[in-house]
């Protein structure tokens, strides 16, 4: 199917279902869905231009992703001085990060601090999961919650997060398991004590890789069920010095300016990838000999791979780096069979989201950790006492799913969204998400997404991308009010062109290699169309494009009175 077909809605649809909801909760200029970092800043920004705003949040507090993902070891993988908001210099100067990459409790504390500092909670309703958003004949958005609330507004902003719908795979017998079951993306707020427990964990993505070493330290025994091994690099997290913090605070204006123009919204101020030293790759791996590569591994471990500029450019170069990776892995794991089981084969480094870890591989050298390589025999069923695989039965008392998310589109698609003439978004996106600039979908006037599909979003420092979208939306609404426009809608042709550009940009990268299956492509969710969802062209280029669109009178959008 080509882009044009994919973005074209051809099915029949019924008119908007008004439902039986009767409780009127109010009229606002804007309803924002979600009170994570995106929703909070959108509220602040829109309030600043004098609009009435209501934020609807399913959780009981602010923080979004950082509210739900409280699993042991949860931590940011971008240095916190950069993974923070720039919109208020008072906030920048007031907040002190304790470590290079802050843990989840500290990031949640930062979110709460923002809510208190800017008195945001008075416009947020907690415990309200949005069920539907319908564009009415009166050209207003009618947003309903699962508990029967109805909110009407001129504009609706979806700040629903890119990784906010946990994916729990359908495994036969799941309901039979007698012990406790947890998902990393919905961890109990009171924490879980595993000290007298045998734990089984499914999944070795970023969440599993962070949780495994910490659970291994506490649990009586931990069995790790791994379907696909990851390429993970050591994090070099450490406490921040007062000197570093002060210097960064003095330099914030320049740091922020450089972040906005960068590829990923990160400049490596003081620290490079995962808190390691900054390395600008210059060498070509294809020009090295096998002996040279092995000597580098011997000397520098996993970090040696970061020196090569061509690893992301060709599959042949990439495979040489994969070999270096596997060699180093064999050096850090004591047991030969376990080492072999942890080795990734058959897909390139850079296909999936890069993972960094603290003591991940060391966990597999512990006596209380069993590694199960599901490539040698997959999961057959969950039993009352554990997991049946083709290589035998494994017993445990508690099961942890570290099985990821229905990413980028999951939270949006779970809401019954209907645009002009009752057109359902589920139909418009039937063959995959289509959006102009990742901000708006044709047929859905006055509805905006923050870090939606087709924008840099998950390929970037989320806080930088959130700020850019929130500011763009705020400026857009201010512009509309100033010029008395009532409606803005992405044109179909501009949306088609942008979707095509997003696809072209990803062509030939490791992200879309034929052997690559990742959540960026929706490949982790059965039946989800295989589309590379984020925009790989870079934060700086993307911002320039969005600014040009505005400078050209909101080019590609229809504005009407
Ligand atoms: O999820 P994932 P995640 N049987 O989808 C396995 C962000 N994040 O929560 O690869 C067996 O990456 C699946 O196996 P496979 C970050 O952007 C950031 O870990 O599909 N296994 C995989 O191993 C990240 O990329 C931070 O074969 C099954 C795992 O579950 C994103 O969130 C921390 C299975 C899922 O990995 C998602 O990471 C945490 C099945 N039926 C997360 N189904 C930081 O900032 C799935 N799996 C550091």
Summarize pLDDT for 133-143 with one digit per residue, the tens: 999 999 999 99
Mean per-residue pLDDT over the chain, rounded: 95
Residue 356: strand pairing partners: 233
How far, in Å, is the centroid of ligand 1 from the Cα of 202?
Answer: 9
How far, in Å, is the centroid of ligand 1 from the Cα of 256?
Answer: 30
- For the ranges 17-26, 331-340, 435-444, the lowest mean pLDDT is seen at 17-26
Q: At how many degrees (to 10) do helices 242-250 and 252-261 cross?
A: 70
The dihedral formed by the CA atoms of 218, 223, 226 and 227, expressed in degrees to the nearest 10: -140
Ligand 1 contact, 173 CB (< 6 A): no
CA distance 332 to 158: 45
CA distance 64 to 61: 8
Would the pLDDT of 47 be above 50?
yes
pLDDT of residue 8: 58
Task: Categorize the per-residue pLDDT at 501 as very low, low, confident or very high, splitting at 50, 70 and 90.
Answer: very high
pLDDT of residue 228: 98
For the segment 44-60, the average pLDDT, to the nearest whole number, is: 97
pLDDT of residue 17: 42
pLDDT of residue 276: 87
pLDDT tens string 142-155: 999 999 999 999 99
DSSP string for 481-512 = HHTT--EEEE-HHHHHHHHHHHHHHHTTSGGG
Ligand 1 contact, 205 CB (< 6 A): yes
Ligand 1 contact, 194 CB (< 6 A): no
Asked whether the beta carbons of 507 and 537 are under 8 A apart, the reply is: no
Percent of the chain at pLDDT > 90 equals: 93
pLDDT of residue 25: 83
pLDDT of residue 21: 40
pLDDT of residue 222: 98
pLDDT of residue 274: 86
Ligand 1 atom 18 nearest Cα = 206
For the segment 534-541, the average pLDDT, to the nearest whole number, is: 98
pLDDT tens string 9-25: 444 444 434 344 444 58
Task: Categorize the per-residue pLDDT at 277 as very low, low, confident or very high, splitting at 50, 70 and 90.
Answer: confident
pLDDT of residue 280: 85
Closest listed residue to residue 227, CA positions, set 359, 391, 458: 391
pLDDT of residue 18: 38
Asked whether the beta carbons of 208 and 71 are under 8 A apart, the reply is: no
Q: What are phi and psi of 208, to 5 degrees?
A: -60, -45
- In the three-class reduction of DSSP (H, G, I as helix; E, B as strand; rest coil), residue 151 is classed as strand
Q: pTM score > 0.85 for this model?
A: yes
Residues in contact with 169: Cβ distance below 8 Å, sequence separation at least 6, in sequence order: 202, 401, 403
Asked whether the beta carbons of 317 and 311 are under 8 A apart, the reply is: yes
Ligand 1 atom 19 nearest Cα = 205
Task: Categorize the per-residue pLDDT at 497 as very low, low, confident or very high, splitting at 50, 70 and 90.
Answer: very high
Alpha helices in 371-431 (DSSP H): 410-413, 425-428
pLDDT tens string 392-429: 999 999 999 999 999 999 999 999 999 999 999 999 99
Ligand 1 contact, 76 CB (< 6 A): yes
Q: Ligand 1, residue 379: give the atom nearest the CA.
A: 4
CA distance 366 to 520: 33
Would the pLDDT of 486 be above 80?
yes
pLDDT of residue 534: 98
Closest listed residue to residue 554, CA positions, set 496, 478, 499: 478
The residue to mutate among 524, 527, 528, having the most atoms of ligand 1 within 8 angstroms of its beta carbon, is: 524
pLDDT tens string 111-129: 999 999 999 999 999 999 9
How far, in Å, is the centroid of ligand 1 from the Cα of 7?
Answer: 28
pLDDT tens string 208-262: 999 999 999 999 999 999 999 999 999 999 999 999 999 999 999 999 999 999 9
Task: Categorize the per-residue pLDDT at 7 as very low, low, confident or very high, splitting at 50, 70 and 90.
Answer: low
Ligand 1 contact, 506 CB (< 6 A): no
Q: Ligand 1, residue 209: give the atom nearest the CA.
A: 19
């Amino acid at each position: 199917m080509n882009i044009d077909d994919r973005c074209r809605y051809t099915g029949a649809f019924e008119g908007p279902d008004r439902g039986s909801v009767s409780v009127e909760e109010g009229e606002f200029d804007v309803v924002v869905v979600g009170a994570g970092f995106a929703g909070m800043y959108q509220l602040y920004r829109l309030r600043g231009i004098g609009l009435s705003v209501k934020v609807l949040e399913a959780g009981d507090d602010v923080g979004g992703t950082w509210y739900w993902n409280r699993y042991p070891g949860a931590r940011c993988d971008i240095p916190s001085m950069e993974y923070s908001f720039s919109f208020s210099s008072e906030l920048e100067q007031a907040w002190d990060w304790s470590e290079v990459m802050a843990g989840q409790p500290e990031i949640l504390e930062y979110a709460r601090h923002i809510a208190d500092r800017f008195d945001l909670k008075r416009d947020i309703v907690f415990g309200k999961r949005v069920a539907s958003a319908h564009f009415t004949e009166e050209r207003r958005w009618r947003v309903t919650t699962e508990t029967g609330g109805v909110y009407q507004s001129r504009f609706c902003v979806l700040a629903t997060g890119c990784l906010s719908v946990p994916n729990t795979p359908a495994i036969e017998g799941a309901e039979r398991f007698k012990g406790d079951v947890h998902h990393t993306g919905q961890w109990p707020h009171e924490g879980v004590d595993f000290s007298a427990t045998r734990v089984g964990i499914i999944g070795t993505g970023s969440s599993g890789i962070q949780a495994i070493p910490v659970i291994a330290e506490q649990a009586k025994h931990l069995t790790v069920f791994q379907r696909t091994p990851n390429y993970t690099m050591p994090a070099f997290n450490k406490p921040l010095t007062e000197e570093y913090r002060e210097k960064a605070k003095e330099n914030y204006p320049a740091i922020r300016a450089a972040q906005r123009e960068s590829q990923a919204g990160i400049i490596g101020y003081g620290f490079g990838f995962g808190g390691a030293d900054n390395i600008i790759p210059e060498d070509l791996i294809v020009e090295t000999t096998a002996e040279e590569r092995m000597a580098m591994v011997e000397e520098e471990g996993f970090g040696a791979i970061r020196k090569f500029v061509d690893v992301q450019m060709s599959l042949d170069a990439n495979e040489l780096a994969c070999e270096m990776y596997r060699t180093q892995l064999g050096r850090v794991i004591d047991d030969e069979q376990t080492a072999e089981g942890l080795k990734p084969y058959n897909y390139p480094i850079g296909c999936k989201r890069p993972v960094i870890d603290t003591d991940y591989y060391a966990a597999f050298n512990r006596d209380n950790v069993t590694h199960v390589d599901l490539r040698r025999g997959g999961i057959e069923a969950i039993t009352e006492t554990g997991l049946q695989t083709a290589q035998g039965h494994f017993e445990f008392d508690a099961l942890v799913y570290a099985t990821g998310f229905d990413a980028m589109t999951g939270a949006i698609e779970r809401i019954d969204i209907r645009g002009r003439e009752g057109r359902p978004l589920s139909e418009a996106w039937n063959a995959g998400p289509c959006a102009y600039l990742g901000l708006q979908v044709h047929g859905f006037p006055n509805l905006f997404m923050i870090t939606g599909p087709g924008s840099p979003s998950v390929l970037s420092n989320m806080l930088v991308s959130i700020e850019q979208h929130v500011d763009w939306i705020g400026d857009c609404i201010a512009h509309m009010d100033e010029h008395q426009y009532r409606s803005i809608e992405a044109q179909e042709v501009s949306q088609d062109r942008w979707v095509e550009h997003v696809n072209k940009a990803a062509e030939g990268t490791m992200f879309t290699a034929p052997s690559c299956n990742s959540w960026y492509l929706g490949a982790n969710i059965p039946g989800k169309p295989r589309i590379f969802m984020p925009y790989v062209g870079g934060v700086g280029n993307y911002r320039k494009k969005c600014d040009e669109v505005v400078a050209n009178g909101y080019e590609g959008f229809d504005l009407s009175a």
